[in-house]
Amino acid sequence: MIYAFTESGESDGHFLEELYGKRTNLGPYGRALLGLALQERKDGRAKEVAGLIEGAAARDEYEAHWQTARVNDYGRDVYLDAEATALSLKALSQINPGSDLLPKAARWLVKNRRNGYYWLSTKETAFAIYGLTDYLKVSKELSPDYSFEVYLNGQQVASQRVGAGDATNAQSLVITKKGNEVGSSNQIKIVKHGKGALYLSTALEYFTADDNVPAQSGGGLKITREYLRLQVTENEDGKASWKIVPLTGELRSGDKIVVRLHLTGPRAQYLMIEDPIPAGAEQVAQVSGIYLNYSLGQWSDWYSNREFRDNRTAIFMNYFDGDATLQYAMRVEVPGEFKVAPARAELMYQPTVQANTSNDRLRILDKK
């Protein structure tokens, strides 16, 4: 708040003076903002704060970053290293552009992207760009003159020349290998020739054409899927009641079933579940006046949002406490034998924490 207050042109420096008095007790995040606020006012004490920033860096021969965290509503530490590093990079770029930590901090930020092209969240991505922009102004990295080659398992698969006109135009190189072309161990090597900084990130995507997909999990997250039968009855006064029973016997057009998804894993935020539906079925939100959502007792655990789409059900949870059972109903309509793709769950901002069920089969008979 004080940084924003100062940057807005407010002339009263009372709050900034108070913050400067607490400079040695600030974490890397707050210290960087103090340095930026002092630099905004062209205050010579910004140099002193820059020295404190440099002294607090975690560094090695190649990289540097700043560690900080806050406690969230669940009592867990939320690490803000990327944001603190971006702000520290921004502050040093403005106050001490000759610091040897600048290229190391930029390298750490670029290296810690997720899935090749973004950071942990939209907020963190914005902070990273906020810091890297100031670094680019002083590093002269926008005038490169180099070429590079990409090798996969010793074979050259791509090459490119990068000049000043290409500096702000990142290129994507897609390498596709199938079957026996992919080994159990694969090596990617990038060789660069010339002047300038080359930043790169990689993402691996793969799929299998096997008929049967096994259940898998990563990061401790697990998901199971079960199909059950939904029985709804109406009494003489028109009130409806429901119960869930095992899915035994024949399944015929018009029958209603329940999909039960059970998730376990570490507590987390922003969990997404996607469950493909059989081609012969349609999701049902309401039966005989009963709205089947989490507000109905014993029907489903709480979720932030549920979307019924043409080919799948998507459920979103802002907060996941480590154990959740989610249910929704479907009406089977089209007779036939259907293969059902696996249900899957992932943390939206940490997609490597994910899990999937095995695939299923559903046989629907025509209504008698």
Residue 288 pLDDT = 85
Residue 275 has pLDDT above 90, yes or no: yes
Angle between helices 81-95 and 122-139 in degrees, nearest 10: 20
In this structure, is residue 211 part of a structural domain? no
| Average pLDDT for 45-51 | 95
Whether 13 and 124 map to the same domain: the answer is yes
Quick one: what percent of the chain has pLDDT higher than 70? 97
Instruction: Give the CATH number of the domain where residue 111 resides.
Output: 1.50.10.20
In this structure, is residue 149 part of a structural domain? yes
Whether 285 and 323 map to the same domain: the answer is yes
Query: What are the structure tokens assigned to 91, written together?
Result: 């502050």
Whether 33 and 91 map to the same domain: the answer is yes
* DSSP β-ladder status, 281-284 and 323-332: antiparallel
pTM of the full structure:
0.65
Structural domain containing residue 120: 2-139
Residue 112 pLDDT = 87
Whether 228 and 309 map to the same domain: the answer is yes
Question: Concatenated DSSP letters for 157-221?
Answer: EEEEEE-GGGTTS---------GGGS-SS--EEEEEEEES--------------SSPPPEESTT-
Using one digit for the tens of pLDDT, what is the confidence trace for 318-327?
989 899 999 9
Residue 74 has pLDDT above 70, yes or no: no
Query: What are the structure tokens assigned to 147, written together?
Result: 């070429």
More confident residue, 240 or 334: 334
pLDDT confidence tier of residue 269, bands split at 50, 70 and 90: confident
Whether 47 and 106 map to the same domain: the answer is yes
* Average pLDDT, rounded, for the chain: 89
Residue 267 pLDDT = 86
Element (H, E) at 290: strand 290-291
Residue 337 pLDDT = 92
How far is the C-alpha of 348 from the C-alpha of 358, rounded, in Å?
Answer: 21
Instruction: Give the CATH number of the domain where residue 333 resides.
Output: 2.60.40.10
Residue 349 pLDDT = 78
Residue 11 has pLDDT above 70, yes or no: no
Whether 235 and 320 map to the same domain: the answer is yes
The answer to whether 59 and 1 are in contact (CB under 8 A) is no
Total domains in the chain come to 3
Using one digit for the tens of pLDDT, what is the confidence trace for 144-168?
899 999 998 888 988 988 888 877 7
Residue 107 pLDDT = 93
In this structure, is residue 204 part of a structural domain? no
* Domain end marker among 124, 139, 154: 139
The answer to whether 209 and 247 are in contact (CB under 8 A) is no
Residue 59 has pLDDT above 70, yes or no: yes
Residue 324 pLDDT = 96
Flag the least confident range among 81-85, 208-212, 247-251, 274-278. Answer: 208-212
Residue 151 pLDDT = 92
Whether 6 and 112 map to the same domain: the answer is yes
Residue 180 pLDDT = 78
Q: What is the DSSP letter of 23?
A: G
Whether 186 and 232 map to the same domain: the answer is no
Residue 182 has pLDDT above 80, yes or no: no
Percentages of the chain per state (helix, strand, coil), in multiples of 5: 25, 35, 40
Phi and psi, residue 190, nearest 5°: -115, 130
pLDDT confidence tier of residue 298, bands split at 50, 70 and 90: confident
How far is the C-alpha of 74 from the C-alpha of 269, rounded, in Å?
Answer: 10
* Domain end marker among 139, 161, 178: 139
Phi and psi, residue 78, nearest 5°: -110, 115
Whether 185 and 227 map to the same domain: the answer is no
* Domain end marker among 96, 120, 139: 139
Phi and psi, residue 311, nearest 5°: -120, 5
Question: Concatenated DSSP letters for 84-110?
Answer: HHHHHHHHHHHH-TT-THHHHHHHHHH
More confident residue, 237 or 11: 237
In this structure, is residue 297 part of a structural domain? yes
How far is the C-alpha of 99 from the C-alpha of 119, rounded, in Å?
Answer: 25
pLDDT confidence tier of residue 76, bands split at 50, 70 and 90: low
In this structure, is residue 207 part of a structural domain? no
Which residue's structure tokens are 């400067």? 20
Using one digit for the tens of pLDDT, what is the confidence trace for 329-363?
999 999 999 999 999 999 987 778 899 999 999 99
More confident residue, 337 or 269: 337
Residue 176 pLDDT = 83
In this structure, is residue 332 part of a structural domain? yes
In this structure, is residue 46 part of a structural domain? yes
Whether 83 and 172 map to the same domain: the answer is no
Whether 19 and 153 map to the same domain: the answer is no
In this structure, is residue 119 part of a structural domain? yes
How far is the C-alpha of 299 from the C-alpha of 15, rounded, in Å?
Answer: 53
Whether 50 and 20 map to the same domain: the answer is yes
Query: What are the structure tokens assigned to 280, written together?
Result: 């012969």
More confident residue, 113 or 225: 225
